[in-house]
Amino acid sequence: MNLKTKLIGGVIAVAAMIFLFGSVFIVREGEYKVVLKFGEAVRIQDTPGMSFKIPFVESVTSLPKYQMIYDSNPTPILTKDKKPIQVDNYAVWKITDPESFLRTAQTVKSGEERIDAAVYNTVRRKLSEIEYGDIISENPKRGNLNEQITEEVAGLLMRDNYGIEIVDVRIKRTDLPDSNKQSVFKRMISDRQAIAARYLSEGDEESKKVRAKADRSAKELMAEAESKAKMIVAEGEREAARIYNESYGKDPEFYELYRTLESYKTTLHGEPVIMFPIDSPYTSILLGE
């Protein structure tokens, strides 16, 4: 074999190797390999492993298959009650149709710009319909903002056929500009103090009602008890009178003596000086006659 033959063989071998290496590409886990022919996508490879293309005619570009997070910069938005707030949010997204994505957005950066615009417009419109107090208080009447925004942004990108799926959009933080914070905080404190004063007033009024009801019940119980006590005393006096009458009827002389002795106890209480006629029956009994 002469030198010329060897040279031709070497060139052929090198060309074969170039052709071989130029026709092979590797698909890795978590990525799409898009085969382009003259700049147009002709097929998508998403199964990990080795694949082939036509060298010098077809080229390959990679796109991520996994979920990505786009963290937007804080943006100023005006609420329904004209409060300027800074909104910070993020979006979870992924490419589901590489061919449509390459035809519209083309690059990941461009896709994130489309997402940013859709999220900003949706968040601005949604928050402009809600007052600031309802935003920070998580008022259940307005529903779940994150779910509503996610649904609308996903619909916008699907409508324009970007080949993008929006998995989730979340508002991380809604904050007031520094120039507005103090005035809003003071107003919030004043509102809370007014609410506290109203609660205290209502509590005081309720306390007075409870006390008045208790006093009225106590007076009614005392009146009822006094009435029952008078009835009992009257009944006792009647019973005593009956017993006295029965005793007097059985032995009038003894009863008269008993009444006289009782009168002595009253008359002689405190050892007073009393003058009685000597022939008085009252004196006779005192003298033991």
Q: How would you write 210-238 as a 3-class SS string? A: HHHHHHHHHHHHHHHHHHHHHHHHHHHHH
d(CA 266, CA 270): 9
CATH top-level class of 68-176: alpha beta
pLDDT recorded at residue 168: 92
Among candidates 100, 96, 112, 94, which has minimal Cα distance to 41? 100
Q: Distance (Å, rounded) from C-alpha 215 to C-alpha 281? A: 59
Q: What is the pLDDT of residue 240?
A: 79
Instruction: Select from 80, 87, 138 the least CA-distant residue to 116.
Output: 87
Q: Which residue has the higher pLDDT, 139 or 66?
A: 66
Res 93 pLDDT > 90: yes
Q: What is the pLDDT of residue 179?
A: 60
DSSP states along 167-225 = EEEEEEEEE--HHHHHHHHHHHHHHHHHHHHHHHHHHHHHHHHHHHHHHHHHHHHHHHH
Domain regions of the chain by residue span = 3-64, 68-176, 182-238, 251-287
- Do 84 and 177 meet the contact criterion of CB atoms below 8 Å apart? yes
Determine the pLDDT at residue 241: 77
- With CA atoms as reference, report the closest residue to 72 among 101, 115, 22: 115
Query: Does residue 288 surpass a pLDDT of 80?
Result: no
Residue 90 in tokens: 């993020």
pLDDT in tens, 183-200: 666 767 877 888 888 888
With pLDDT > 90 as the criterion, what percentage of the chain qualifies? 11
Residues 6+ apart with CB under 8 A from 134: 141, 142
Among 82, 165, 147, 153, CA closest to 122: 153
pLDDT at 185: 67
pLDDT at residue 20 tops 70: no
Instruction: Find which of 216-220, 244-248, 285-289 is predicted with most confidence, using mean pLDDT.
Output: 216-220
Residue 220 dihedral angles phi and psi, to the nearest 5°:
-65, -40
Neighbour count for residue 42 (Cβ, 10 Å)? 13
**Of the ranges 3-7, 12-16, 186-190, which one carries the lowest mean pLDDT score?**
12-16
User: How confident is the model at residue 69, as a pLDDT?
Assistant: 93
* Res 213: pLDDT: 87
pLDDT for residue 167 is more than 90: yes
Beta bridge partners of 44: 34
Q: At residue 88, what are phi and psi to the nearest 5 degrees? A: -120, 125
Highest mean pLDDT among 46-60, 191-205, 275-289: 191-205
Beta strands in the chain (DSSP E): 24-27, 31-37, 40-45, 49-52, 58-64, 68-71, 75-78, 84-95, 164-175
Q: Which helix (H) or strand (E) holds 149?
A: helix 145-159
Condensed to tens digits (0 to 9), the pLDDT of residues 108-166 reads: 899 999 999 999 999 888 888 887 777 766 655 556 888 888 999 999 998 988 899 99
What is the pLDDT, as a whole number, of residue 35?
Answer: 79
**1 vs 67, residue with greater confidence:** 67
> What pLDDT was estimated at residue 17?
60
pLDDT for position 81: 79
Tell me the mean pLDDT in the region 235-244.
80
Angle at 218 between CA 212 and CA 221, to 5 degrees: 145
Phi then psi dihedrals of residue 163, to 5 deg: 75, 25
pLDDT of residue 142: 59
Average pLDDT, the chain: 78
Q: What average pLDDT score do residues 170-193 get?
A: 72
The DSSP code for 128 is: T
> pLDDT value at position 28?
80
